[in-house]
Protein backbone atom coordinates (compact mmCIF):
# COMPACT_ATOMS: atom_id res chain seq x y z
CA UNK A 1 0.00 0.00 0.00
CA UNK A 2 2.76 2.45 0.89
CA UNK A 3 4.18 2.18 -2.63
CA UNK A 4 1.14 4.06 -3.91
CA UNK A 5 2.21 7.31 -2.23
CA UNK A 6 4.40 9.68 -4.24
CA UNK A 7 8.01 10.15 -3.20
CA UNK A 8 8.82 13.64 -1.95
CA UNK A 9 12.49 14.43 -2.40
CA UNK A 10 14.59 16.60 -0.11
CA UNK A 11 12.16 16.52 2.82
CA UNK A 12 15.14 16.45 5.18
CA UNK A 13 16.36 19.86 3.98
CA UNK A 14 15.22 23.27 5.16
CA UNK A 15 14.53 25.59 2.26
CA UNK A 16 13.01 28.40 4.34
CA UNK A 17 14.99 31.63 4.58
CA UNK A 18 14.09 34.91 6.24
CA UNK A 19 14.65 38.17 4.37
CA UNK A 20 17.73 39.13 6.38
CA UNK A 21 19.39 35.78 5.62
CA UNK A 22 18.68 36.19 1.90
CA UNK A 23 20.19 39.67 1.97
CA UNK A 24 23.25 38.32 3.79
CA UNK A 25 23.51 35.47 1.25
CA UNK A 26 23.63 38.01 -1.59
CA UNK A 27 26.42 39.92 0.15
CA UNK A 28 28.45 36.76 0.71
CA UNK A 29 27.87 35.75 -2.92
CA UNK A 30 29.18 39.14 -4.09
CA UNK A 31 32.22 38.74 -1.83
CA UNK A 32 33.07 35.53 -3.68
CA UNK A 33 32.43 32.94 -0.97
CA UNK A 34 31.73 29.44 -2.21
CA UNK A 35 28.45 27.63 -1.62
CA UNK A 36 30.22 25.48 1.00
CA UNK A 37 31.62 28.55 2.79
CA UNK A 38 28.23 30.24 2.80
CA UNK A 39 26.63 27.04 4.12
CA UNK A 40 29.16 26.98 6.96
CA UNK A 41 28.37 30.60 7.84
CA UNK A 42 24.66 29.81 8.04
CA UNK A 43 25.19 26.37 9.60
CA UNK A 44 23.10 24.93 6.76
CA UNK A 45 23.54 22.09 4.28
CA UNK A 46 25.27 23.14 1.04
CA UNK A 47 22.26 21.80 -0.88
CA UNK A 48 20.01 24.33 0.87
CA UNK A 49 22.32 27.19 -0.09
CA UNK A 50 22.62 25.89 -3.65
CA UNK A 51 18.85 25.97 -4.06
CA UNK A 52 18.78 29.52 -2.68
CA UNK A 53 21.47 30.49 -5.22
CA UNK A 54 19.42 28.98 -8.05
CA UNK A 55 16.34 30.85 -6.82
CA UNK A 56 18.16 34.17 -6.53
CA UNK A 57 19.76 33.76 -9.96
CA UNK A 58 16.37 32.96 -11.54
CA UNK A 59 14.95 36.09 -9.91
CA UNK A 60 17.98 38.09 -11.16
CA UNK A 61 19.01 39.02 -7.60
CA UNK A 62 22.52 37.60 -8.10
CA UNK A 63 24.68 37.39 -11.20
CA UNK A 64 27.06 34.84 -12.65
CA UNK A 65 30.52 35.25 -11.25
CA UNK A 66 34.02 33.98 -11.84
CA UNK A 67 34.30 30.64 -10.10
CA UNK A 68 30.55 30.05 -10.14
CA UNK A 69 29.39 28.10 -7.08
CA UNK A 70 33.04 27.67 -6.02
CA UNK A 71 33.53 31.41 -5.74
CA UNK A 72 36.97 32.99 -5.60
CA UNK A 73 38.44 29.71 -4.39
CA UNK A 74 39.05 28.60 -7.98
What residues does each domain of the chain span? 18-73
Q: What is the pLDDT of residues 49-72, one digit of tens each?
A: 999 999 999 999 999 999 999 998
Tell whether domain 18-73 is in CATH 1.20.120. Answer: no
Enter the pTM of the model.
Answer: 0.87
Taking residue 47's Cβ as centre, other Cβ atoms within 10 Å add up to 14
What is the pLDDT averaged over residues 22-31? 98
Position 74 scores a pLDDT of 61
- Say if residue 18's pLDDT is above 90: yes
In a 10 Å sphere around its CB, with 0-12 CB exposed, 13-18 middle and 19+ buried, how is residue 33 labelled? buried
What is the pLDDT averaged over residues 16-27? 98
Amino acid sequence: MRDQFPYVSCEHYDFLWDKQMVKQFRQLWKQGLSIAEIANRFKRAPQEVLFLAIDQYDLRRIKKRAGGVWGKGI
